[in-house]
Chain A
Amino acid sequence: MKQKLVVIGAGMASGRVLEHLREQAPDQYDITLFNAEPRGNYNRIMLSPVLSGEKTYEEIVTHDDDWYAQNEITCRFGEHVVGIDRHSRTVTGQNGAVSYDKLLIATGSAPFIIPVPGKDLPGVIAYRDLDDTNAMVEASAKGGKAVVIGGGLLGLEAAAGLALRGMEVTVLHLMGHLMERQLDEAAGYLLKKDLEDRGITVMTKAATKAILGEDRVEAVLLEDGTVLDADLVVMAVGIRPETRLATDAHLEVARGIEVNAQMMTSDPDVLAVGECVELDGQLFGLVAPLYDQAKVVAATLTGEEAAFVPKELSTKLKVTGCDLFSAGDFAEGEGREDVVFRDPSRGVYKRLVIEGDRLVGAVMYGDTADSNWFFGLIKDGTDISDMRETLIFGPAYQGGGQADPLSAVAALPPEAEICGCNGICKGQIVQAIEGGAIDLGAVKATTKASASCGTCTGLVEQLLQVTLGDGFEMPTAQPVCGCTDLSHEDVRRLIKSQELKSQEAVWQELGWKTVNGCHTCRPAVNFYLLADWPLDYTDDPQSRFVNERNHANIQKDGTYSVMPRMWGGMTTPQELVAIAQAAEKYGATVKVTGGQRIDLLGVRKEDLPAIWADLNRAGMVSGHAYTKGLRTVKTCVGSDWCRFGTQDSTGLGIKLEKRLWGSWTPHKVKLGVSGCPRNCAEATCKDIGIVCVDSGYQIGVGGAAGMDVKEVERLVDVATEEEAIEWTVAFVQLYRENGKYLDRAYKWLAKVGLDWVQEVLADPAERAALVDRFDLSQSVYQTDPWAERARPDVAQGFQPLADFTLEAAE
């Protein structure tokens, strides 16, 4: 006879309990899981990256519907629990009661709302769950001003996320410096400076008096009379254990639900886990102890003996670019000594607190590479008297003083904790690696190390390197994919030297392990072949990603976007009329892009040939907004119109675009031409950017404004327009002949070096040869793909092969 287990709350702690239970005793319990949120368990620590847009909700789900189904867990999500009756052993939800033999309370915590007037106004949000996160994302879409009350971990992560989403953010903190429980004043100062560099205003010693507004929040009033305008107020002053159900059920409750080391409450059939519990006067808010508790709960429920022992904790802030770490006790005190290291130019601060022969606390800002080693010393109470002199320089300087970056990890003892979230130590990871987990993915899958917040990924990789030695593939010589052991560079070199001119020749001569490659290598090989042998090799659409095969950008709903070329960003009333008519005819949404063109979104695949034909008739061709090839040439109005313009930047932009369009490149190529150093065309963050000056043209290369933001480096200054065009074309061809597929120009430049590129292009003969080879390739590839595919015989391929829905309707 199965026993009945009811779990209240689907958070990270109870999620881990369920995993352990189903692993250790799959058939012992019938499980019912209540959750007030209308969804299952997700990685709550990762809400900050969701808020900042670096991750999506889907990426942080830890247990999906399938998991609950496979593990036969009855889910009552979106249903609040009304009460617990310990006499009849029932839990009553909004939709009815269920009886239990064992009950697990995992209600987590509730945000603390400071009791000021206006706290209930619309626009005041606490930061606790996905709904709060979504509400903030939605509010930030309108831009405007946000005030975050609370300068602790949660508040700062919220502030950074909202700032990334474009809001003007002010953080109010009651105490004298940020994160006062985890940081000392010096580190708090550096953190404040970092945040201010990101445009976030930080006000310390700021006490909120009231939140003002009529129908919704409009401003925040401080005790000192300051009024701050606010479209959004986030309250992140702290959390308190959610104990209401336990209190109503007459369980013993102090600040949290009181439990013993077996995680039992005052009623032995009722257990509690997570942020809602209190043990020996201590509360728990970080994930590592919650996972330890989860193990104990599972053991208690299956009749095993186990006891939860709180461990020393460390803190990290998940704001990209802010490296901070703190652990142990760093208050000043009698018999305590400080060792401090500062490097103002790098913004680095390290402080160790030593008591007797032991390290008792550490605070680090700006460089936290050695934090795990220090944390180990604190936890283990290691005698540090022998290394006291050099302690602050980290493990690399202990004994011998080599600067091998791996020595720090190599020196860690097996029980050193690597993954704080999951409590995984070095020994377990090394064991997994020795057992065959020879890459990051495999280590994640077998040990869960680096599978939660991910800040230990670098350490895990170093462990792979230390453990496997030469057996660990250095990232520099990564093979293209699983189909070959050769790197991209090797494949390119062999295609040229062995004159391989077809895909079959590549597969055969280079010993490919698969019949005809895969989605990773085939597009790369297709590009290398057409770039090196434009006359001998024919481009293969079936080796291209969908966008390049269909010559339109696929959208998330399966429709496409269509973008005609606008040479140098210039258009005419006639073109605009044709675009407007096409948008109406095919039901497209119209969007003006950052590349000075007009995008038509939501076009069905079946309609693509027809809309292309319509646009062709008005004289427009494909804008190649979907290719690893030339995209746009952005220009300003230049000397034609602008009172500052020094040269005809628009004219040069159009000439460049007419010369380069249709060419395939390792990754997309965007150009900009500005008519004067005011740089209205933002040329200095393009793959190739030309800035016109009185004396001629400054050509910069290797800029970017995407995942990375980079300013161009100066390739050359030339006097005439002809030279500017020649250098640009030669540069593009050099990139086409040497770049690794999917490396933007700046990444390629970082590998070969600007010096090398300048040296090659400085030779007039070499430059001319490159231009010749580019023009030869253009003689094949500079054709409008839309016109070719709008022809009736080809257009047929865009329709379904057969359509039984029509037959059935007849």
Chain B
Amino acid sequence: MNWTDIGAVTDVPLRGARLVKTQAGCIAVFRTAEDEVFAASNACPHKQGPLSEGIVHGQKVTCPLHNWVFDLNTGEAQGADEGRIAVYPVRIEAGRILLEISALQNRSAA
């Protein structure tokens, strides 16, 4: 495992998100009202809407372009829409957000 410090929990707005750029594409890091963090692909599978700009509610995010809703635990689209966003391991340690980036490196190497 390759846990990398990407910033403080408080750098991400409550019920909001920030962007992490990687060689293999952009990742959105979400912070829920309960101070949980999630990491997922930033691009909605529908029309590539930037999910880091979506409204975060519960453990879900709504794409700002056409209102697709994704569960941040599984990445599955909710309701009638069908699709999935990649989700990545992320955790909080001493107020810092740690992202497991080996999965991404593998992806870019592949």
On A, residues with C-beta under 8 Å from B are 441, 445, 514-519, 522-523, 541-546, 549-550, 554, 556, 558, 797, 800-805, 808
Contacts and interface: CB of A to CB of B under 8 A. Distances in A.
B69 to A, nearest CB: 7
Contacts of B69: 518-519
A49 B15 CA distance: 39
B80 A441 contact: yes
A445 B82 CA distance: 14
A441 B6 CA distance: 43
Interface size class of B (residues with CB under 8 A): 35 or more
A550 B52 CA distance: 12
A445 B53 CA distance: 31
B21 to A, nearest CB: 4
Contacts of A801: 6-7, 11-12, 18-20, 29
A704 to B, nearest CB: 24
Given A518-B62, A519-B55, A800 B14 contact: no
B21 A804 contact: yes
A171 to B, nearest CB: 36
B64 A546 contact: yes
Interface in B64-85: 64-65, 67, 69, 80
A543 B23 contact: no
Nearest to A540: B15
A545 B15 contact: no
Contact of A797 (B13, B21, B33): B13
Q: Which 10 A-B pairs have the closest CB atoms?
A: A519-B62, A801-B18, A546-B64, A802-B6, A546-B53, A542-B15, A519-B55, A800-B19, A803-B21, A804-B22
A519 B80 CA distance: 16
B101 interface: yes
Contacts of A515: 33-34, 57-58
Given A514-B57, A546-B64, A800-B18, 12 more contacts: A518-B60, A542-B14, A546-B50, A554-B65, A556-B47, A797-B18, A800-B19, A800-B26, A801-B6, A801-B19, A804-B20, A805-B21
Contacts of A522: 55, 57
Nearest to B53: A546
Contacts of B101: 804
17 contacts: A516-B33, A518-B57, A519-B62, A522-B55, A523-B55, A545-B64, A546-B54, A556-B65, A558-B48, A800-B18, A800-B21, A800-B26, A801-B11, A801-B19, A804-B22, A805-B21, A808-B23
B56 interface: yes
Interface in B21-42: 21-23, 26, 29, 33-34
Nearest to B29: A801
A132 to B, nearest CB: 25
Contacts of A545: 55, 64
Contacts of A804: 20-23, 101, 104
Nearest to A545: B64
Given A518-B62, A802-B21, A805-B22, A543 B55 contact: yes
